[in-house]
Amino acid sequence: MNKIMIVDDMPIFLEYLRGCIDWNAYGFEICCEAHDGREALQKMDEYLPDVVLTDITMPYLNGLELSEKIIKDYPDTAVVLITGNNEFEYARKAVKIGVCDYIVKPFEKEELILSLLKLQDNIGKAIENSLRDDYVLTDELKALIYAGISDVEHSNEIEEKIFGWGSGAGYLLGLVKFDGDINNNSSREELMNWERLIAKMLEDKLDIDGEVKIFNDFENNIIILMRFNRALDISSFKGYEFTDIIDVVKNQLGFDITIVLSRADELKGVKKGYERALGTVMVKGCGKLIDLREESEPPVFTSLDAIFRLNKDIENLLSDDVENVINTMWQHIREACPSKDGHVISDMNIISSALSVLMTNIINSGFSIEKIYGDGFSPEDFFSGSIGSNEMKDKVIYLFKKRIEFEKDKKKSKSRDVALSAKEYIEENYKNSELSVADISEELCVNQTYLRKMFKSEMNMTLSEYITQVRMQEAKRLITATDEKLSLIAEKVGYSDVSYFSNVFKKYYGNSPRSMSKE
């Protein structure tokens, strides 16, 4: 867990910060509180928080003075200021001295969460520590949007399985698409992690008279299926929760998300509602909320069966069927867009959709994209210079086949093998003060999310905890068995700052390094 110290001289605001967020659900815990900057400094050595969340205006030692001392003496602790509008200039000054971020009151709690998660490696730690791997009933929900419902009896069976007993008055389907850069391989995994966090926020934020189910489609879009108890509520639902999330993500993370709402009066209409939403976002994605409740026809042709089959083909290693599916999908979508300009749009839509399916599959499998396609691989570069639709289509087929060939050729790596390899790498490189999860991930050719998950599952601790354990055990050995200076010991176990090393040591063992030193 990431440890947070909250500092404010107003008890009511401390109480609000303590209770407004389910901190553990996002990988955080409030380790301590302080009512002014002086008290906060006194608690730093005892609690060693990862993040200090502090007000500016306080007695004895204000937030700016506190921040300056923390940045100087505790370089691994991040500081986030909470300010009022009249303190905006102070906040700007604080950024110049090294404060990581500031939040202006009043703020949405999601804004605060994102601000904290984007610091250092907090998003990776949150995924590693707290967020569940998958949403319940994922297979049934995916089957609902891709395969649909065959008859009334089947509809009743699916409804009971997904929502339990009872029935609703109708459904709203929300599709959330992140407009991330599909050509940036290094950020794709991070983007998928952000998607998981945003899905969690929406799950917490949506409060309707009915039921809400959230899952991902095969392109990793977030799908929100809302079953309302009253038909009137479907029409009156304003979607303010979605517009809030769109604004917060734009302000905090700097990228757009588009959310499309589509209505279905019966469960069997959810598939068509999803198809309409997907078709709309492919053409009209614009970083805002699009409401299709009053529209009746889908704007473009989409091939959901093809997307479903492509995933199955990768799982079952069927290269020939991949080629058939892509050829058929390409032809159908081009026929649905007969104009010359329409062909260009449809070709790019197919590439975008197919690549999303492919890259999502690779990352969820734990593989490195560059390990499969080579160092420096970029979809943008790969498709640049393509002459005509057929060449682009052949390149899409090539990428899928290459993925399947890699799966066939590789020896299945079990989670314990990954964890043991990571453990060995840490034990060999803990002296490096710059050692990071990214280094281990690159060395083992697995992505960071998969690595974190496998290590914690097998070792019952996080990677960061194990790195600290190895360093502390070696430090204790050197302190008790040698006469070396503390600064040299700190350097030997991967700490460039002896003061910070001493604080970590005391936190780990309960005693200072000097109290254990060899007499």
pLDDT digit string (tens) for 125-140? 776 665 554 445 677 8
**Token pair listed for 126:** 């949150």
pLDDT of residue 519: 47
Determine the Cα angle at 177 with ends 348 and 310, to 5°: 55
Predicted confidence (pLDDT) at residue 518 exceeds the cutoff of 70: no
pTM: 0.72
pLDDT of residue 88: 64
Helix (H) or strand (E) holding 300: none
Q: What contacts 296, CB < 8 A, 6 or more positions away?
A: none
The residue among 223, 228, 211 whose CA lies nearest residue 170 is 228
Write the pLDDT tens digit of every residue in 40-62.
999 998 888 989 999 888 888 88
Average the pLDDT over 424-435 and give the result.
Answer: 93
Is 117 exposed, middle or buried (CB count within 10 Å of its CB: 0-12, 13-18, 19+)? buried
Determine the Cα angle at 97 with ends 92 and 98, to 5°: 95
The residue among 172, 23, 182, 199 whose CA lies nearest residue 112 is 23
Question: If DSSP codes are grouped into helix, strand and coil, which group holds residue 504?
Answer: helix
Query: Could you tell me what percent of the chain has a pLDDT over 70?
Result: 85
Average the pLDDT over 348-370 and give the result.
Answer: 77
* Residue 31 pLDDT grade (very low, low, confident, very high; cuts 50, 70, 90): very high
pLDDT of residue 413: 53
Helix (H) or strand (E) holding 177: strand 170-178
pLDDT of residue 236: 92
Q: What contacts 204, CB < 8 A, 6 or more positions away?
A: 22, 25
Write the pLDDT tens digit of every residue in 135-179.
456 778 888 888 788 766 677 888 888 887 667 789 999 999 987
Count the helix, strand and coil residues of the chain and give each as a percent rounded to the nearest 5: 60, 10, 30
Predicted confidence (pLDDT) at residue 94 exceeds the cutoff of 80: no
The residue among 95, 350, 326 whose CA lies nearest residue 219 is 350
How far does the chain reach from its first CA to its final CA, in angstroms? 36
Predicted confidence (pLDDT) at residue 240 exceeds the cutoff of 70: yes
Q: What are the CA-CA distances from residue 455 to residues 138, 188, 196, 460 (Å)?
A: 24, 21, 20, 8
Q: What contacts 76, CB < 8 A, 6 or more positions away?
A: 50, 500
CA distance 478 to 495: 14
Rg (CA), the chain: 26
CA distance 35 to 437: 35
The residue among 277, 35, 247, 98 whose CA lies nearest residue 175 is 277
